[in-house]
Structure 1
Amino acid sequence: MKSKILYALLFFISFANIAFGQIKVWNHISAKKGITSKQWVVNDIVYKVRQKVETPFRTEAYANVSSNGQIQKIPLFYNGDNEWILRYSSAEIGVKTFSIESELKQLNGKKGTIRITKNQKKNRHGAVVLHNDNPQHFFYEDGKHYFNLAFECDWLFALDYGKEELAKTKHLLSLLEQNGFNQVVMNVYSHDVSWKKDDLLLEHSEHEYGGRQDIFPFLGSNDNPDFNSLNVEFFKHFDQVISEMHDKEIVSHLMIYVWNKLVSWPDMNSEADNLYYDYVIKRYQAFPNIVWDVSKEALYYGRATKEYISERIERARKLDAYGRLISVHDFGFCKNHPNEVDFISMQNWQHTLYQNMMDARKQFPKKPIFNIEHGGYEESPYVVFPGAYVNAEACLRRNYMCLFAGGYSTYYWQGASWNVVIHNPFEQDESFKKPHFEYFKHMRKLFDSVNFENCEPLPWYNSSGYNLTNKKDGIVLMYTPKENNWVGTNQVLKKNFDTSNATQQWFNTITGEFTEENKLDIRSFAFWDDRPWEGEADTILIIRNLKPKKDI
């Protein structure tokens, strides 16, 4: 009797769908009968074969998914223990049918049906895409603007490695979500840093994630690699990380390679190199919260060539059935190969950051400009990598300079960007320097309220500050550094707008405070005596309810 109950229980577990984070897991019998899922939910359909496969990672299998006369060819991936997985998500509502083609007899010809119903999650809007009618901004698949506010955390993969519960990962991602961040710039894998580490880390080894030998995407370890096969357990853990990000609607800006973090990579274009790269594309393309980046600082350090990076882009596009956006963390490459990337990635530490961003925006009018690394690395309890700027307000200002040039930016905190990760900074003792996440929460609130996707920098109206003008919604923004004593608005207002119903309001970039919204008084914007927070904080003057006179 007990054996029958046990058998029944095992049968139920085997043939029921299992909720795993944001991945819904199905067996092949369920798929054959027909499964139902919502838009942008990730589904794993699991196929287990009995035959022995000598080179499973090199065994090809594809699902031809048919819908409305269109066929999507999605690669399956090997998941260890004779399992192959068809990972699937969809932005399109309706019924899809699929058939698998493979050299494996037990996979070849397998069929199934997937019914996709309307999304019910309020803050879920699909993958990040581009729009031809507004090409310098990012959007979601449902048409909503995607205000790309990124946070660098290269070692996110390592926080809870080897643990069933991702307590640290969830805590950090929750902090990012609460403060308006919707993207993490991250590596699939990094090993360690080459520069000197802060001696204080010897007392706080719990915050050090570099140099671990138990984490590696291939077999063996970073110091003793075995490139003959991949480490499935590494990628199963990485699935959970990406799933948690998907749950919180945080995009993974996934840098597949990194050259300066002491990683033992296989030779370029070798069988092992291709195996790794292809596997990443196969395994993670179904996640709507994926943006590809071939490599961090792709052409630095003398390892990769431009031909190699071009081949990697082409390779990803051929394998990725979902057409996720792709770029390269190298402005030189993007500048010289603009037709190969979906958006322009910049890394610029110069004092002329604003002008450099403006120049890129002018040079590439059909692509978004994303400054991934502007040299501002806010200080933390440890000196990890100081870069060019560590003062929190100076780092914040550089982010605003990117935005007022019509581009997007990334926030770096030294306590989380590289090998040091303090996942719970606000639970540390008072002596620890805390990150200023709240600055970016304020930023996100402001730019959501003024429809950043309709804003255009008009530098000839900058005066001594920075101008953003939203003609469509009748809004003018003037960013005013706290040292400024005067920022003129008369030209942009008089030449372009009827101001009879306009209002004025100030925003404090440090505290997030808004002054009361009062009737516009143009005369007050000469040399002002009553500017709020004068000398205390950078502020933004917001003029609303403007009526355009004519096209700018």
Structure 2
Amino acid sequence: MPYGPSSVLGEVLRNKQAQAVVRKYAPHLDKEIESAQMWYGTLAQVTTMLEGIRIDPAARNALYAELATLEEPDEEAASPRDEEMVPVADYESEDVPSGSAQLVAASHGTLWQTFELELHGPAHGNPFTAVTLRAEFRNGDRSATAHGFYDGEGMYRVRFLPDAEGEWSFRTTSNARSLDSVTGTFYCGPAGSADHGPVRVHAGAHFQHADGTRFLPLGTTLYAWTHQGAELEKRTLASLAGSPFNKVRMCVFPKWFVHNETEPPRYPFAGSVEEGWDLHRPNPAYFQHLEQQIAQLGGLGIQADLILFHPYDRWGFSTMSPAADDRYLRYVVGRLAAYPNVWWSLANEYDLVWSKSTDDWHRIAAVIGDHDPHGHLMSVHNWVELWDNDVDWVTHASIQRTPEGTREWRERWGKPVAVDELGYEGDIEWGWGNLAPQEMVRRCWEGVVRGGYVTHGECFLADDDVLWWAKGGVLKGESTARLDFLRTIMEDIPSDAAGIDPLPSDFDVPVGGVEGRYYLAYCGIMQPRLRTFHLPRRTRFRADIIDTWNMTITELPDLYEGTCTVSLPGRPYLAIRLRAVEGQ
């Protein structure tokens, strides 16, 4: 059939004649910053974004008319369809004793720490797809099923995160006879002082760990930090250790984008860039490295918000078939679900992953839910169109916007709101990555006071092209110290409060806190000399003037109640904190 608006750009560009037509009407295609991602878009999608075509419908029509004279190859006939491989019951012959695989497992575990069964089993054929393995773990009347995975060289693993102390038993199920009906027990002891379990949604719009410990996220962005090599990754971890950030947004797959155009040291599947990928064979070394870095984050008390798909891809991982997607997801979830500090982010900018439909995202969420016995948090991040966060499997909203809509989003969905992409401090060419530090801090304060949670990022040009937002390294900006200060303010709310909730506010200054006990008003770029508050009567409040940029707190000498006016120093970036006097 002829090329047309539904033709995929990458397929068009593989045809030399069609490529010449596209470049005739879009001569600056190679300079487009999203070009790697656009490769997988249809012409109709791409031509709404490319400068020159987007503003000239006549040129777009001429492009389609000229392409219509060329024939698009039958890709389905040229490439066999990737169908799910069904494991067979006779993967091992009947003379192999059931449950005969060598088991290595500890006799004791720890609450909220990953417990692992290591099984030495068969390696013929393709064990990644030919063998199924799971284990049922029991503690009294309670049970949970964890899915295993093949880790190469005849090694299989099943991982579990015990959520109760006492004796646990386990029993495996597999189509490989040697791996089937392996049984055992272990005793789970009390949690360590730093182990609080996975993060859950709490009180509607907030978070807490499974043991009830409050969790107040303050994130940062490190999309491709695990694909940079040992030396740079070590520097990144050292920077994180000295930072205020307790959540990291990071990609499972490598990324190809502006200031991140280097090949990773390893790839997620067997194969090569030149010869293509065997999507039936994950690369264990790739995922072993990823999980080691997740564990390192956990040791620093940092949550790993794992982005499972993204559009900035030159290797084809964003355009795998549904069957390949599902195999990848089962493998990743099997490997990582027992890590307590994992969150699932289905996509970064899902609406730029043009190869997937709304139904695909729902299917992906179902696969994750079916294979994660520990129920980790799950979200979908947008570019332009907000995801429908009403759906049951979405635990919290992950938003790309400035934070002024945070309260509205909370009320719309009744879920926590993480403004995960509100712009980056830096000095690169594009507006999303050259915020002044004052503006970065302002946006973070706005999001927090409006009842949400925020994520930082940095994009400073460097001779070595190491930008924190993409590759990690060393934090350079002025906002980090101010966000450390913000974190102390977030943590200083009443100890029995789940978090900061939006409170009645005037049109110009947002107010958040805990109704009747704690109020936090943020003035942003405004510089008032006074502010009137309507506090509860017969309750006295102490007032603090917080300079969010200079990181100072000035306690005022007077007490306030009812309708009252607080004098202010008349400079920008101030917050006013009002706390009820205890024991009055």
Into which bin does the TM-score normalised by the smaller protein fall? 0.7 to 0.9
Aligned counterpart, 2:294: 242
Q: Which amino acid aligns with 2:579?
A: R
- Quick check: which has more Rg, 1 or 2? 2
CA deviations 1:5-35 (Å, max 9, x no partner) are: xxxxxxxxxxxxxxxxxxxxxx96553xx61
SS in 2 for 1:340: coil
Aligned counterpart, 1:414: 459
Give the Cα separation in 2 of the matches to 1:486 and 1:136: 33
Task: Say if 1:476 and 1:137 are closer, same or farther in 2 by CA, change over 3 A.
Answer: same
SS in 1 for 2:306: strand
Q: Which amino acid aligns with 2:323?
A: E
CA deviations 1:147-180 (Å, max 9, x no partner) are: 01111100121133xx5xxx54344234334332
Q: Quick check: 1:135–1:368 contact (8 Å CA) kept in 2? A: yes
- Are 1:516 and 2:555 matched, yes or no? yes
SS in 2 for 1:256: strand
- Are 1:338 and 2:391 matched, yes or no? yes
Q: 1:543 aligns with which of 578, 581, 584?
A: 578
Q: What is the deviation of 1:271?
A: 3.4
Q: What is the deviation of 1:83?
A: 0.3
Q: What is the deviation of 1:514?
A: 1.4
TM-score by length of 2: 0.75
Between stretches 411-420 and 297-306, larger displacement belongs to 411-420
SS in 2 for 1:277: helix
Q: What is the deviation of 1:50?
A: 4.6
Aligned counterpart, 1:357: 406
Q: What is the deviation of 1:547?
A: 8.0
Q: How many residues get paired?
A: 475
Q: Quick check: 2:509–2:522 contact (8 Å CA) kept in 1? A: yes
Aligned counterpart, 1:143: 212
Q: Quick check: 2:493–2:513 contact (8 Å CA) kept in 1? A: no
Q: Quick check: 1:251–1:291 contact (8 Å CA) kept in 2? A: yes
Between stretches 173-182 and 293-302, larger displacement belongs to 173-182
Aligned counterpart, 1:505: 544
Q: What is the deviation of 1:312?
A: 0.3
Q: Quick check: 2:532–2:563 contact (8 Å CA) kept in 1? A: no
Give the Cα separation in 2 of the matches to 1:336 and 1:30: 42
- Are 1:446 and 2:481 matched, yes or no? no
Q: What is the deviation of 1:38?
A: 1.4
CA deviations 1:196-222 (Å, max 9, x no partner) are: x5xxxxxxxxxxx53315421011234
Aligned counterpart, 2:508: 464
Give the Cα separation in 2 of the matches to 1:39 and 1:283: 19
1:112-511 alignment runs, 5 A limit:
112-121=184-193, 123-131=194-202, 134-160=203-229, 163=230, 168-193=232-257, 195=258, 197=259, 210-212=261-263, 214-222=265-273, 224-227=275-278, 228-265=280-317, 267-330=319-382, 332=385, 334-335=387-388, 337-349=390-402, 353-354=403-404, 356-365=405-414, 367-374=415-422, 376-379=423-426, 383=428, 385-387=430-432, 390-415=435-460, 420-425=470-475, 434-451=477-494, 453-459=498-504, 461-462=505-506, 464-471=508-515, 474-486=517-529, 488-491=531-534, 493=535, 496-500=536-540, 502-511=541-550
Q: What is the deviation of 1:56?
A: 3.0
Give the Cα separation in 2 of the matches to 1:85 and 1:332: 39
SS in 2 for 1:95: strand
The structure 1 segments of at least 4 consecutive aligned residues displaced by more than 6 Å after TM superposition are 416-419, 522-525
Task: Say if 1:477 and 1:363 are closer, same or farther in 2 by CA, change over 3 A.
Answer: same
Q: Which amino acid aligns with 1:519?
A: D
Give the Cα separation in 2 of the matches to 1:290 and 1:296: 16
Task: Say if 1:548 and 1:110 are closer, same or farther in 2 by CA, change over 3 A.
Answer: same
Task: Say if 1:211 and 1:545 are closer, same or farther in 2 by CA, change over 3 A.
Answer: same
Q: Which amino acid aligns with 2:544?
A: Q
Give the Cα separation in 2 of the matches to 1:70 and 1:115: 15
Aligned counterpart, 2:32: none
Q: Identity over the aligned pairs, expressed in percent?
A: 20
Q: What is the deviation of 1:526?
A: 4.4
For structure 2, the 5+ residue unaligned runs are 1-100, 461-465
Q: Quick check: 2:158–2:334 contact (8 Å CA) kept in 1? A: no
Q: CA RMSD in A?
A: 2.8
SS in 1 for 2:350: coil
Between stretches 254-263 and 80-89, larger displacement belongs to 254-263
Aligned counterpart, 1:18: none
